[in-house]
Amino acid sequence: MKITSQDFEHGQWIPSECAYGQLVDGKFALAENLNPQLSWSGLPQGTQSIVLACIDPDVPTDRKALNEDGEIPADQPRRDFVHWLVWDMDPAICEVKKGEASVGDEKSGKRFAKPMGIEAINDYSSETEIHRGYDGPCPPGFDARMHGYEFRVYALDVKTLDLPDTARWEEVCERMASHVLASATIQGIYSLNPRLQPL
């Protein structure tokens, strides 16, 4: 299997229009938050459904533990953060266009997410606000580590994972573990730390 994007190459910078936050003249500002274009190919025979995810494995475990430079140390233990998760996707789907899974608001004119399967709750959610669909990068601006965002696609040998739309990443991983026929990943990088910006 292979997954590619028209918006960034593997290991390269994710454009700010595909992020939740950006730096404008050195200051934080909200970005367009559009999901990048993605396409995949080479599904193995027997594929009955697709799982699509965007995971940031570089999220700090303690935002208050700063070093002498006032930054979260790059070697601090990290955890996964789910930016996007869809399962029970039809294997006939082989592309997501830019912005197609971005949940916007009616005032801004952005369209709501196109149904592609079971759209999970992402990790921007809180007790008072539920986020579904794609929400892009917004790492701490004082993090010394460059974040790598992994866009992953999995081909499964079952049509459905039979999970509620409240299921989280850990549950999806556990349920699909014995059903993955093949997978592919493309990684993009992003940071809001001023000293880590591309030249």
- Going residue by residue through the chain, which has 199 residues, state the pLDDT in tens, using 9 for 90 and above: 999 999 999 999 999 999 999 999 999 999 999 999 999 999 999 999 999 999 999 999 999 999 999 999 999 999 999 999 999 999 999 999 999 887 655 444 444 566 789 989 999 988 888 888 899 999 999 999 999 999 999 999 999 999 999 999 999 999 999 999 999 999 999 999 999 999 7
Which of 20, 49, 55, 47 has its CA nearest to residue 170?
Answer: 55
Give the pLDDT confidence score for residue 103 in this predicted structure.
Answer: 65
Give the pLDDT confidence score for residue 105 in this predicted structure.
Answer: 52
Rounded to whole angstroms, the Cα distance separating 156 from 133 reads 21
pTM of the predicted model as reported, rounded to 2 decimal places: 0.93
Positive or negative CA dihedral for 20, 174, 11, 155? negative
Q: Characterize 153-175 residue by residue with b for buried, 16 or more Cβ atoms within 10 angstroms of its Cβ, and e for exposed.
A: bbbbeeeebebeeebebeebeeb
Contact 191, 197 (CB under 8 A): yes
Contact 70, 195 (CB under 8 A): no
Rounded to whole angstroms, the Cα distance separating 138 from 31 reads 9
Rounded to whole angstroms, the Cα distance separating 122 from 52 reads 13
Please name the helix (run of DSSP H) or strand (run of DSSP E) that holds residue 171, with its range, or none. Answer: helix 169-176
Rounded to whole angstroms, the Cα distance separating 137 from 159 reads 30
Give the pLDDT confidence score for residue 101 in this predicted structure.
Answer: 83
Give the pLDDT confidence score for residue 108 in this predicted structure.
Answer: 47
Cβ neighbours of residue 139 closer than 8 Å, sequence gap 6 or more: 56, 58, 59, 147, 190, 191, 192, 193
Cβ neighbours of residue 11 closer than 8 Å, sequence gap 6 or more: 187, 188, 189
Rounded to whole angstroms, the Cα distance separating 35 from 51 reads 16
